[in-house]
Structure 1
Amino acid sequence: MTQTVRAADAALPDLKPGPHTRRLGLISTVACLGGLLFGYDTGVANGAEGPMAQDLGLDLLQLGLVIASLSFAAAAGALIGGKVSDAIGRRRTIIVLAVLFFIGVVLVVFSPGGGGNFSPIGFTALLSGRIVLGLAVGGASTVVPVFLAELAPYEIRGSITGRNELAIVSGQLAAFVVNASIATIFGSEGHVWRVMFAVCAIPAVFLFFGMLRMPESPRWLVENGRRQEALTVLEAVRPQDRARAELEQVEILAQEESEGKVGFRALVSNKWLVRIVAVGAGLSVIQQLTGINSIMYFGARVLEQSGMTPEQAVLANISFGVVAVVGGIIALRNMDRIDRRKTFLIGLSLTTAFHLLVGAASIMLPEGNPARPFVVLVLVVGFVFSMQSFLNIAVWVWLAEIFPLHMRGLGFGIAAFCGWAMGGVLALFVPTLISSVGITGTFTMFFFIGVGAILFVWRLVPETRGRSLEALEEDVITGAINTITKSQRSHRP
């Protein structure tokens, strides 16, 4: 079977430009509104959390719970969203997520209370809204990359799937700019934080109506016996001869899978599937343990700890969003040119080095030194740029590629669940961590974690670039992917 699939890969006609490429571009743009919402909802807290805590009378633990609740809910949303997308389809799931985004925004914006007085009802409404947003964010983090990966030709799958991560960092930048603009114009007191959150409702509406006109994933359609619909979708995003050849390749593997176990039963019955899900979960956790979301959630707080005023920190915070977008553009250009493993190792080496430099700079430049906040800002900007250029996009693309079709949503969901759970732990304790051990202790901890992450990737993560999803699937199911990994480790240090 492995030889059959690979022969089909070799026989696929070359991808030529044409109307199908424009259609694929439109589909990816609409779907990536889910990534934009993901980014805005994770980024809006960075700048809004201070005014929100002041207005609602929240202490540090309550604030940490409000921020972390999104990540914990996202963990559940990733797992549930992946399973639901396997059951009802990628497109319908994204439409449901758009509704959840809108409901979550309404709950947050209209939560009762204010004036610096704590309200249990207001806190409950706010927490509920963040949980609903988290479910939507987690679902989008799983379903949108899978949807794009299953629609994209393997030659450009990395750049097409990676557009979602670019949309995420663009959403975070938009949140930083909106927060800074509103704070500059209206100040940072009172109900201003509600306006910051309310902006998120706009792309949610566009995502809902846009996805109503988008097609379903052709691979999901084949998996569910809807061959003609799958061919129609493929012919809309491929040349006709390529569409038919690719459909035949997908059908061969789907036929074999229909005779065996699917979903969770397939996972627990195959040690190689268990292994690859464990590696995927580990990679997702590593992405969070770089501390990137700690910066995206609490970047302004880190800059204040370095010596900036709150006003300076909110404005300087925009630089994180700018370099994240620039790094995302660079990552997209390199996604189909540089192997995933090499990208991971370069990225982790750079981010780990910046962790060490930030920790060292905060020791050598004590509090009160006028250069300290600006040196820390430059180094943290370097960290964010390295993360977005080499890690964030590549991790989500790899996760969307590696799992077999019959459990792709489940496998991705498990990996994303683990990552979001770790992100929730960090979001809950980072404000307290920064206050107790400062920038030095926080970034030194991230440095040691980074060293372990490099070893993990070097030894365990296989390559996926330049392979069809079907060829990768066969290697994962049979365990051949692990033999390839050993060869990669020997020849690609």
Structure 2
Amino acid sequence: MTLLAIVEDRPTPQAVYNWRVYTCAAIASFASCMIGYDSAFIGTTLNLPSFTKEFNFASYSKDGLALLQANIVSVYQAGAFFGSLFAYGTSYFLGRRRSLLIFSIVFIVGAAIMLAASAERGIGPIIAGRVLAGIGVGGTSNMVPIYISELAPPAVRGRLVGIYELGWQIGGLVGFWINYGVNTTLPETRSQWLIPFAVQLIPAGLLLFGSLWIKESPRWLFAKGRREQAMRNLCWMRNLPADDLYILEEVSQIEEELERYRREVGAGFWKPFLSLKDRKVQWRFFIGGMLFLWQNGSGINAINYYSPTVFKSIGITGTNNGFLTTGIFGVVKTCVTIVWLLYLVDHVGRRRMLFVGAIGGSLCMWFIGAYIKLADPASKATAGGKPDSAGIAAVFFFYLWTVFYCPSWNGTPWVINSEMFDQNTRSLGQASAAANNWFWNFIVSRFTPQMFLKMQYGVYFFFASLMILSVFFVYFFIPETKSIPLESMDRLFAVKPVGKANKIIMEQLRAEEEAFRQNAGDAHLEDDEKANVRQLEATA
């Protein structure tokens, strides 16, 4: 099997894997670039000398400064929580594409407000702007995985949703390095810290203009009864004519699933809420939320938002040393995410990677916590702010933790949530999942400074313990979803034990596909026979 080989649920024309579907996914993923950048740049910006002088951080007590920094960071997650819920309404009434357009505008307004902050005006505009920017990223974090999963062929759905995660890492990479750049090349003026805030506008602008070009999700159009436009968009994305057998099969699956849901639950804005009476639907919502609890329980957002604090606890001091170490962290994350995107997510699968990431990541966290407990590096910083040999080993295990985390818990929860709900609960399910992500993100970002002050090395033991607990959750409750069509997810989650569910459903789908093609072949033969009879009658 080659690196880019794919595992198909049924024979698929090569035309389906075309530039259009990848381009739509890439444009939508500019949203994750702005999310990743915002998540990464703020922690190091708060430590820029020009920023700390502008807003007189030296006048705060240690606890007061920790509270201020926590508020600046966490209001963004609070806004994102509500934005992810607002997106359910916009996606239902306006569709996926126009929702992306609206939330990109909201983000741009918020980013522009942040640029008004100064020593005279105070830090208020930054806090207000981050609330609005948070609403924007919350809405797009809901929409992008849904949009990509609905346009993706099953065999490359993980890869395409993975582009969303790759965009997140690219944005984060820029966010981690930009402050190192401005700190080493620019004088300590207001412009030095304004540049990182202004760069937010670049990915948001690209998403805004890209949203004017991409096509609306065919599945959303089918759900709204706009069949003609849905067929045009689907044929455009698949690069196939409307009478191609692959298109006929896909449309048949979509319409059959929509009809089943209308029959059993009904269509409408409030109907997905009524479907929550169903224990099976409740269970999937619970799983989606718990995946993000475990994701944030790994410690990733404590590192993203407060990387200088994290590296200082290992013994790395000095502004440039902290920024450089953080930048390398961003490089490692991005490189490993590319490997996950190209190969792991659609070959190794979702479930197995979650196991490997949780176990390996937990072991690394235990080592880092034990090192801090035994060596107390923060109180023994060497000249130049660089760690000793044991500290270098701790830094190595920190980067090793990144290698375990990024191809597993970093993007996989988004992939699973984007694909496991049916058409009528997908928007609400993704809204719930995204809201859970931002809720737990808020909890971590709000209390991390205080946790480091009070718990010290215990913070790493806390995250390590949560990663071990996530292993048991995945083993008992998460089936493998790779290569399963969206319309077959209900069947997948009904199979027990969950460890064998994927294999069972794939065998059923192949048998059904053979039967469908046989029936289609018989129908063509029957049509040919009728045509021959008519021709003979006409000749006679």
Work out whether the TM-score is over 0.5: yes
Relative to structure 1, the CA distance from residue 304 to residue 191 in structure 2 (aligned partners, 3 Å threshold; closer, same or farther) is farther
Give the structure 2 partner of residue 469 of structure 1.
486
Retained in 2: the 8 A contact 1:300–1:317?
Answer: yes
Give the structure 1 partner of residue 518 of structure 2.
none
Give the structure 2 partner of residue 261 of structure 1.
266
Q: Distance in 2 between matches of 1:243 and 1:365?
A: 63
Q: Distance in 2 between matches of 1:393 and 1:347?
A: 11
Q: Which runs of 5+ in 1 are unaligned?
A: 1-8
Retained in 2: the 8 A contact 1:283–1:395?
Answer: yes
Q: Distance in 2 between matches of 1:81 and 1:294?
A: 26
Relative to structure 1, the CA distance from residue 366 to residue 265 in structure 2 (aligned partners, 3 Å threshold; closer, same or farther) is closer
Retained in 2: the 8 A contact 1:362–1:372?
Answer: no
Q: Distance in 2 between matches of 1:286 and 1:82?
A: 24
Deviation at 1:364, TM superposition (A): 3.4
Deviations 1:85-138 (A, max 9, x none): 133211011111211221111111112x32xxxx7x633321111111111122
Retained in 1: the 8 A contact 2:142–2:431?
Answer: yes
Deviation at 1:305, TM superposition (A): 2.6
The answer to whether structure 1 residue 326 and structure 2 residue 326 are counterparts is no
Relative to structure 1, the CA distance from residue 451 to residue 257 in structure 2 (aligned partners, 3 Å threshold; closer, same or farther) is same
May I ask how many residue pairs the two structures share in their alignment? 470
- Aligned runs of 1:77-116 on 2, under 5 Å? 77-111=83-117, 113-114=118-119
Partner SS state of residue 391, structure 1: helix
Retained in 2: the 8 A contact 1:48–1:193?
Answer: yes
Q: Between the two proteins, what is the percent identity of the paired residues?
A: 24
Deviation at 1:206, TM superposition (A): 1.5
Deviation at 1:488, TM superposition (A): 5.6
Q: Give the counterpart letter for 1:408 in structure 2.
A: R
Retained in 2: the 8 A contact 1:86–1:407?
Answer: no
Retained in 1: the 8 A contact 2:81–2:436?
Answer: yes
Give the structure 2 partner of residue 5 of structure 1.
none
Give the structure 1 partner of residue 287 of structure 2.
279
Give the structure 1 partner of residue 82 of structure 2.
76
- Aligned runs of 1:45-444 on 2, under 5 Å? 45-51=42-48, 52-57=51-56, 59-111=65-117, 113-114=118-119, 122-187=122-187, 190-238=190-238, 239-240=240-241, 241=244, 242-259=246-263, 260-262=265-267, 263-308=271-316, 309-332=318-341, 333-367=343-377, 368=380, 370-438=388-456, 440-444=457-461
Partner SS state of residue 464, structure 1: coil
* Comparing 211-220 and 69-78, the one that deviates more: 69-78
Relative to structure 1, the CA distance from residue 65 to residue 256 in structure 2 (aligned partners, 3 Å threshold; closer, same or farther) is same
Retained in 1: the 8 A contact 2:301–2:441?
Answer: yes
Partner SS state of residue 466, structure 1: coil
Partner SS state of residue 77, structure 1: helix
* Comparing 147-156 and 374-383, the one that deviates more: 374-383
- What RMSD, in angstroms, separates the aligned Cα atoms of the two structures? 2.2
2:474 to 439, 457, 472: 457
Relative to structure 1, the CA distance from residue 140 to residue 298 in structure 2 (aligned partners, 3 Å threshold; closer, same or farther) is same
Partner SS state of residue 424, structure 2: helix
Larger radius of gyration: 2
Deviation at 1:334, TM superposition (A): 1.3
Relative to structure 1, the CA distance from residue 471 to residue 312 in structure 2 (aligned partners, 3 Å threshold; closer, same or farther) is same
Relative to structure 1, the CA distance from residue 489 to residue 149 in structure 2 (aligned partners, 3 Å threshold; closer, same or farther) is closer
Q: Distance in 2 between matches of 1:449 and 1:490?
A: 29
Retained in 1: the 8 A contact 2:34–2:204?
Answer: yes
Deviations 1:395-434 (A, max 9, x none): 1111101111101111111122122111111111111211
Q: Distance in 2 between matches of 1:249 and 1:490?
A: 20
* Comparing 178-187 and 236-245, the one that deviates more: 236-245
Give the structure 2 partner of residue 6 of structure 1.
none
Q: Which runs of 5+ in 2 are unaligned?
A: 1-7, 58-64, 381-386, 505-540
Retained in 2: the 8 A contact 1:42–1:172?
Answer: yes
* Comparing 62-71 and 180-189, the one that deviates more: 180-189
Retained in 2: the 8 A contact 1:109–1:195?
Answer: no
Q: Distance in 1 between matches of 2:187 and 2:47?
A: 12
Q: Distance in 2 between matches of 1:188 and 1:417?
A: 38
Q: Distance in 1 between matches of 2:170 and 2:199?
A: 14
Deviations 1:22-74 (A, max 9, x none): 11121111111111111111111121012344422352211111101111221
Deviation at 1:394, TM superposition (A): 1.4
Relative to structure 1, the CA distance from residue 188 to residue 419 in structure 2 (aligned partners, 3 Å threshold; closer, same or farther) is farther
Relative to structure 1, the CA distance from residue 373 to residue 182 in structure 2 (aligned partners, 3 Å threshold; closer, same or farther) is farther
Retained in 1: the 8 A contact 2:288–2:413?
Answer: no
Deviation at 1:484, TM superposition (A): 4.5
Deviation at 1:269, TM superposition (A): 2.0
Relative to structure 1, the CA distance from residue 283 to residue 192 in structure 2 (aligned partners, 3 Å threshold; closer, same or farther) is same
Relative to structure 1, the CA distance from residue 307 to residue 13 in structure 2 (aligned partners, 3 Å threshold; closer, same or farther) is closer
Q: Distance in 1 between matches of 2:453 and 2:425?
A: 43
Give the structure 1 partner of residue 19 of structure 2.
22
Q: Distance in 2 between matches of 1:363 and 1:474?
A: 49
* Comparing 339-348 and 75-84, the one that deviates more: 75-84
